[in-house]
Structure 1
Amino acid sequence: MADPRERLTAHLLDLGIIEAGDVSSIDTLVALARDSSGVHLEEHDMLGMAQALGRAADRVGAAGADIAVRRLDHLPTDERPAAAEAWITAVMPVVVATFTLLCERRARQISRRRLGAAAEGRHAEPPVAVAFVDLRGSTAFMLDRSPQEIAELTDVLYAVGQEAATHHDVAAGKFLGDGVLLVSADTARLLAAAREAVASLAQRTELRAGAGVAWGQVIRRAGDWHGPPVNLAARLAEVAAADEILVDFTAMDRHDDASATWRDIVPRGVPEPRRVAVFTSR
């Protein structure tokens, strides 16, 4: 039977996360992680971390390459490869150091939040409320706009999601091309964050947004969020009108708000009608 470390590196090679020349270095790093004092990482844990690092490396590396290509576009074709190599060699150490700082800070912030939940008597992996905030008309907008305008819209969406998450102490789980996923064990805080994000997008973009909120058990894997409430929140956001937030009845069981009105809807992919509370961002 193959050594777990060999299985892990073979799997990472198959996924394209590492290259053949990286195997020796990865083996050394995996051994270091396994042998660190007070640290015990199973193969499952190591693979999840590798997936997260692979996703992060793809994004950070692609962003760096995009900048390099734009900056060097004026050079003669035969000079570009060497210039790109010099640019990456000079810039990437700063990027790596910054990423290390941000990654360590986020790991500490998130672990404190989750350990705090466990200290309050809640399960370490409790059900949570999930909100998906979705821009309306983004496809038509992007078909008719310049790359710069699309990039500006994406920047505003990221800023709005981060600001709403920070203001209400919820997690910005993931960002998509025209939406953001917010997560919290506290439905009231999550609803407040979703309402702020929807209202802010209406003020800061030409588009409007709607949102869906669902409750349930999520699966956290490689720094990402999956599971029924994630899918349901996205489906509710699809049918929400502009400036509207639809909250599934299961989430409203944990949030008593007399201002809500109620509606029965049939989201895409859901076999039966769902009872939802309807809120507006204003």
Structure 2
Amino acid sequence: MELWRLLGFPHAEEGQPAFTSADVDALRHTAGLMQLGILSPDRQAALVRTWGRSFARLADWQTSLLADVTRERGGDDVDDLLTVAVEVLPLVEELQTYVWRRHLASAASRILTVAGASAVPMAVGFVDIVGYTARSKTLTEAELVDLVEEFEDACADVVIEHHGRVIKNLGDAVLFTCDRIEDAARVALELLELAEDPDEPFPDVRAGVAYGDVVERLGDVFGPTVNIASRLTSIARPSTVLVDEGAAAELEDVTGLELHRMRRTSVKGYARLQPYRLRRSD
């Protein structure tokens, strides 16, 4: 039952049918991984919880997509949805396995490069939609979904183009990392320029970028560098990129970029945070 709870499924009352042979197989595979030493009790909880959260969001999105396709085909009930699902899900399952294996290979290559290090230096950036709360009140549900999806898609394209990784989407913000601070700086600046293009639907944004040691765990990132990037974003003015001292030191001699030292400021957890405004050189 503990694994069931960690996966995010509702509690099953005693005597209520809730499990199938597939659940038994899953428990058997889990026991096998524990016997091999791959999963310890603490790792098991963290991994299962991450699976539950990730697949719950993916399942919600896929079900909404299948429902839209069903309606477009003239269907309007659960049986019609199941008919479409039987046709589509085997293909989706194969594609998910393919994408997972590609990401697994990429992650293994990256992690083995820094094997043995508890924390590694990298650039962390946040990009935040300006005035999201006020704007969301004036949009329909469909318009709000379009805004967020266009924002996330554009961010992902720019981050990947500059050799970075999107760590997670936070509704009105995106958290990303890059191994090189120069790449992270160009991501932030390019997204600001995208917002300024009148032909693009990309919303007005602001960004914060920090450089320093970062701890990676279960696809997420932790540590003071992440916190500082978040704080910088919170104090950045619209259409502005702020970086910390670590990033500024690394970017000082980069051609095409310009740094302006700003007044120290007090934010949560940091009494005298030193921000720098980052711009392209004229």
TM-score when scaled to structure 1? 0.81
Note the 1:75-86 alignment, pairs <5 A: 80-86=77-83
Q: Is the 8 A contact 1:243 1:281 kept in 2?
A: no
Letter aligned with residue 67 of structure 2: V
Query: Secondary structure of 2:120's partner?
Result: coil
- Aligned match of 1:178 in 172, 180, 189? 172
1:70-116 deviation per Cα after TM superposition (whole angstroms, max 9, x unaligned): 44569999x72322333333322222211111111011112213333
Structure-2 residue corresponding to 1:161? 155
Q: Is the 8 A contact 2:121 2:179 kept in 1?
A: yes
Alpha-carbon distance in structure 1 between the residues aligned to 2:49 and 2:25: 17
1:32-91 deviation per Cα after TM superposition (whole angstroms, max 9, x unaligned): 43467xx733333333332232122112210122133344569999x7232233333332
Residues 257 and 148 from structure 1, CA distance in 2 versus in 1: closer, same or farther, beyond 3 angstroms? farther
Alpha-carbon distance in structure 1 between the residues aligned to 2:193 and 2:60: 32
Structure-1 residue corresponding to 2:138? 144
Alpha-carbon distance in structure 2 between the residues aligned to 1:278 and 1:167: 23
Structure-2 residue corresponding to 1:3? none
Alpha-carbon distance in structure 2 between the residues aligned to 1:147 and 1:134: 20
Per the TM alignment, residue 136 of structure 1 is displaced from its structure 2 partner at its CA by 0.6
Q: Which has the higher helix share?
A: 1
Letter aligned with residue 231 of structure 1: N
Letter aligned with residue 62 of structure 1: D
Residues 221 and 124 from structure 1, CA distance in 2 versus in 1: closer, same or farther, beyond 3 angstroms? closer
Asked if 1:279 corresponds to 2:278, the answer is yes
1:111-133 deviation per Cα after TM superposition (whole angstroms, max 9, x unaligned): 21333345xxx936313221101
Alpha-carbon distance in structure 2 between the residues aligned to 1:76 and 1:104: 36
Q: Is the 8 A contact 1:209 1:242 kept in 2?
A: yes
1:152-196 deviation per Cα after TM superposition (whole angstroms, max 9, x unaligned): 222222222222222211111111211111112321221122212
Question: Unaligned 5+ residue runs, structure 2?
Answer: 11-17
Percent identical residues = 22
Structure-2 residue corresponding to 1:225? 221
Structure-1 residue corresponding to 2:242? 246
Alpha-carbon distance in structure 2 between the residues aligned to 1:95 and 1:201: 33
Asked if 1:42 corresponds to 2:43, the answer is no
Alpha-carbon distance in structure 2 between the residues aligned to 1:89 and 1:220: 38
Where do 4+ consecutive residues of structure 1 move more than 4 Å? 71-77
- Superposition RMSD on alpha carbons, in Å? 2.9
Per the TM alignment, residue 209 of structure 1 is displaced from its structure 2 partner at its CA by 0.9
Letter aligned with residue 280 of structure 1: R
- Aligned match of 1:107 in 104, 108, 125? 104
Range with bigger deviation, 107-116 or 221-230: 221-230
Question: Unaligned 5+ residue runs, structure 1?
Answer: 1-9
Q: Is the 8 A contact 2:206 2:236 kept in 1?
A: yes
Residues 227 and 271 from structure 1, CA distance in 2 versus in 1: closer, same or farther, beyond 3 angstroms? closer
Aligned length: 267
Alpha-carbon distance in structure 2 between the residues aligned to 1:207 and 1:272: 31
Asked if 1:123 corresponds to 2:117, the answer is yes
Structure-1 residue corresponding to 2:29? 29
